[in-house]
Structure 1
Amino acid sequence: MTFALSRRHLLQGSLITAGSGLLTACGGGTSPQSPNRPNSNRPQTMTPTAQRPQIQVQPARVVSQGNANTMRIFASSGFCEDPSRIQTGLNRLSSAGFVISNHHAAYRRFQRFAGSDAERIADLQEVADGRVPTPKVLMGARGGYGAARLLPHINWGNLGARMREQGTLLFGFSDVTAIQMALLAQSGVPSFAGPMLYSEFAKPVADTYTMDSFIRTTTSSQLTVAVSSFQIQRPRAVEGMLWGGNLSVVASLVGSPYMPRVQGGILFLEDVSEQPYRIERMLQTLHLAGILRQQQAIVLGDFRMGNIRDSYDSSYDLNMVAQTMSRVANIPVFTGFPFGHIANKTSFPLGARAKIQPDNMGGYTVTFSDYPALNAAALNLNALLPPPTYDFGTGFFGSGESSDSEF
């Protein structure tokens, strides 16, 4: 049975502080109404690998109203299997006030891809060429494989310039990392690790944590995520551009013009269903290419390893990999950041400024700044949140969240 419930029951103990901030990428202007998100005394639940982080945000100030609610779908990788589920995602985003274009891209299929190479290139190249208006949001359909085939055929300089002018937010993860890294390498424009049309927005019941994080991050000019009780090798405070994404995809770009050349950065990495030795091998590739020694730190997200173990030595795990790479690269390695191929993921910018501060309890905070934001006043983002349900057996309110994430 479903009951209406005030928003404070949904946040499950997240810490919010109000403030004001000027968004560099979008300029100054009038400040939109910030959603009311008071604290809750309800105990926090657990993500598959980590306790949900505390999140602090500052409201964003956005000038441009012309494209404030426009969204264009791009399908750079695998096809979306279920048309009815695609429609669910489109309906959910439309109910939040987005005016969606190029939605037919989500329905395409050619072999294992979401359309032919030419069709998938056009999703982004039409924006780069100015053949279609530059949207406020470029939303990836899903991951899989195929984005690497598009990289030489997109004018990244033009695309980045148009995105920067409009303060466009591009969302994706998994295979979309190739798009995000090419954009950063070729134009210096940031993007967002966050939910995609089919992977999250199209779920029958959206994940409350993921949707709430999407709302908070995209309507803020500053974001702080606190991660508690995780392994930190060589802990120290660091500050720089945080970049990266899916480890397999990042490693595949080594030696190409689509690998960002970031000096003094913070490299974020996640992956799924890889044995520890394979994770280390890809990290060693980045080290041997000279990339890790140019970074101030590595942040590891969720690797969704489950029962995956090294068949030669089951005790050789991700923590041992982190220890090895911290020693080899002589930089801190922070683990447990709440993002990856998991249901409950934190939206955050890639290619933006970040500061990591270890605490005295084995955890750390990451504060992001200098990234574009949405105009909350032009949207109805609370419509993205699923209605809470009441469990008569336990006497608790829940959100109907699933434990998995498609990509």
Structure 2
Amino acid sequence: MPTRLDIRLIAPSGYADDRAACARGIERLQAAGHTVHGGDVVDRVMLRFAGGDAERAADINQLARTDRPLPDLVMAVCGGYGAIALLERLDYDGLAARFLDESCVLVGHGDFTVLQCALYARSAIGTLHGPMLVRDFGQGYLRENTWRHFWHTALSPRTEMSWACGEGQHDMLVEGTLWGGNLSALCSLIGTPYLPRIDGGILYVEETGEQAYRVERMLYELKLAGVLDRQRAILVGGLGGQRTSEYDNGYDIDHALERFVRACGLPMLRGLAFGHGQDKWTLPFGGHAALEVVAGTARLAVFDYRYARAPLDGSTTSA
């Protein structure tokens, strides 16, 4: 018997512009045996946001209420922009106390990164950097690998992934706290109390639609702020959407990363699919990770992270 989860939808950033995808995503979750709440958030629109700041913050703060049960899983509907305006409105002490002995887990990516960082920094709550309702589970074609790895990670105390990182990468083995997310979202938190200070970390970053020089500049922001001095490795995901001009003289994202890896002195691995993009692995933010590279193949094993523990049936898989 597959695990049945109680899932609550939240929309902390932009509004859902594809209602058909919302409906498909909800139908797929229900067809897998799960109960879905919070569908009303997909109808909220205020300018480019899914409601006002107070309204969107309240969706998260209600998780701190002791008069109602926590869901097993909280899933962001979509990304966009807007979550940063909620950070000063969240009940971090209440959330920390409520999540202390509960197995509820939150998942999202992109703009959701700022919430993941803030919850970890202020409430010690780990989350999942993974698929969302509209762009992932609601698309016309469901990516089977994304679906299966998400459920395995969300319902298991350990997850693994492997990918080709290139023959030029030296063999290595490092361990540390896995964390990161969208690059511009991370940089927006530099100098604030919402960017967690993680020593000996394995940082993952991804971005979409930013020019190569902007990606390089944001990486330098992390370096100059001292964030990278405390890391053991950097995992680079998708960096799509760049355009080159005549003025670039051939400078592109490959050149940007080659320049930066020489400057930062950290191992930098490419090829891991997460965040924006059609196929993606689910990464446990705050989990303990072991990263190994052998003969151009990277393997990442993550454990000791927050997951939605299986109910009474004891299953760890989902349809």
Q: TM-score, normalised by structure 1?
A: 0.73
| One of 11, 16, 23 as aligned partner of 1:87 | 23
Match of 1:372 in 2: 306
Secondary structure at 1:344's aligned position in 2?
coil
Q: Distance in 2 between matches of 1:197 and 1:146?
A: 17
> Hey, what does 1:193 align to over in structure 2?
129
- SS of corresponding position for 2:178: strand
- Indicate conservation of the 8 Å contact 1:75/1:106, yes or no: yes
Structure 1 residues 328 and 155, CA gap change in structure 2 (3 angstroms): same
Where does residue 390 of structure 1 map in the other structure? none
Q: CA deviation at 1:381?
A: 6.3
Deviation at 1:180, TM superposition (A): 0.6
The alignment status of 1:329 with 2:259, answered yes or no, reads: no
Residue by residue over 1:53-96, the C-alpha shift from the partner in whole angstroms, topping out at 9 and shown as x without a partner, is xxxxxxxxxxxx9xx62111111000012333322221211222
1:340-351 equivalent positions in 2, closer than 5 A: 340-351=275-286
SS of match in other structure, 2:40: helix
- State whether structure 2 residue 232 is matched by structure 1 residue 296: yes
Is this contact kept in 1: 2:178–2:289, CA < 8 A? Answer: yes
Matched to 1:291, the amino acid is V
1:101 counterpart = 2:37: yes
Structure 2 counterpart of 1:336, one-letter code: G
Task: Give yes or no for contact 2:131–2:275 (8 Å, CA) kept in 1.
Answer: no
Judged with a 3 Å threshold, the aligned counterparts in structure 2 of structure 1 residues 298 and 88 are, in CA distance, closer, same or farther, namely same
Aligned to 1:363: 297
Partner residue of 2:108 out of 172, 184, 189: 172
Distance 1:250 1:190, change over 3 A: same
Helix, strand or coil at the partner of 2:247: coil
CA distance in 2, matches of 1:369, 1:146: 31
From 192, 215, 218, give the equivalent of 1:279. 215
**Pairwise CA distance, 1:162:** 2.0
Contact 2:9 2:77 in 1 (8 A): yes
Report the equivalent of 1:316.
Answer: 251
Q: What is the Cα deviation at residue 323 of structure 1? A: 2.8
1:257: how far off?
Answer: 0.7
Say which SS state the counterpart of residue 337 (structure 1) adopts. coil
CA–CA separation in structure 2 for the residues paired with 1:231 and 1:192: 30
Structure 2 match to 1:267: 203
Alignment RMSD: 2.3
What letter corresponds to residue 196 of structure 1 in structure 2? Answer: M
Q: Which runs of 5+ in 2 are unaligned?
A: none
Q: Specify which of 143, 150, 153 is matched with residue 214 of structure 1.
A: 150
Separation in structure 2 between the aligned mates of residue 191 and residue 165 of structure 1, nearest angstrom: 15
Q: Structure 2 matches for 1:135-150, cutoff 5 A?
A: 135-150=71-86
Q: How many Å apart are 1:116 and its aligned residue?
A: 1.0
Displacement after TM superposition at 1:218 (Å):
2.0
Query: Contact (CA 8 Å) 1:96, 1:381: kept in 2 or not?
Result: no
Moved more, 184-193 or 224-233: 224-233
Query: CA 1:328–1:103 in structure 2 vs 1: closer, same or farther (change >3 Å)?
Result: same
> Residue 338 of structure 1: CA displacement?
1.2
> Aligned residue for 2:179?
243
Structure 1 residues 341-370: Cα deviation after superposition (integer angstroms, max 9, x where no partner):
11111112111011111112x221111111
- In structure 2, the partner of 1:5 is none
> How many pairs are equivalent?
317
Change (3 A) 1:350 1:254: same
How far did 1:122 drift? 0.7
1:231 and 1:291 mapped to 2: Cα distance? 28
Matching residue's letter, 2:20: S
Please give the alpha-carbon distance, in whole angstroms, between the structure 2 residues aligned to 1:275 and 1:218.
33
Q: Write the deviation string for residues 122-152 of structure 1: whole angstroms up to 9, x where unpaired.
A: 1101112335322111110100000000000
Amino acid at match of 1:367: A
SS in 1 for 2:176: strand
User: Is the CA contact 2:155–2:316 (under 8 Å) kept in the aligned structure 1?
Assistant: no
Q: CA deviation at 1:200?
A: 1.3
Partners in 1 of 2:316 and 2:32 — Cα distance? 4
Letter in 1 for 2:54: A
Tell me the residue number matched to 2:51.
115
Matches within 5 A, 1:57-72: 69-72=5-8
Provide the residue aligned with 1:157 in structure 2: 93
Hey, what does 1:254 align to over in structure 2?
A: 190
Equivalents in 1 of 2:240, 2:158: separation in Å? 28
| Cα distance change on mapping 1:73 and 1:159 into 2, 3 Å | same
Q: What is the Cα deviation at residue 155 of structure 1?
A: 1.3
TM-score (structure 2 length as normaliser): 0.92
Kept in 2: contact 1:276–1:310 (CA 8 A): no
The AA in structure 2 aligned to 1:365 is: R
CA distance in 2, matches of 1:298, 1:343: 22
CA distance in 1, matches of 2:100, 2:258: 38
Identity %: 35
Contact 1:231 1:335 survives alignment (8 Å): no
Bigger-Rg structure (1/2): 1
Q: Secondary structure at the match of 2:238?
A: coil
Name the CA shift for 1:313/1:353 in 2 (closer, same or farther; >3 Å): same
In 1, Cα distance between the equivalents of 2:246 and 2:202?
31
Opposite residue 275 of structure 2, the aligned amino acid is G
Residue aligned with 2:288, SS: strand
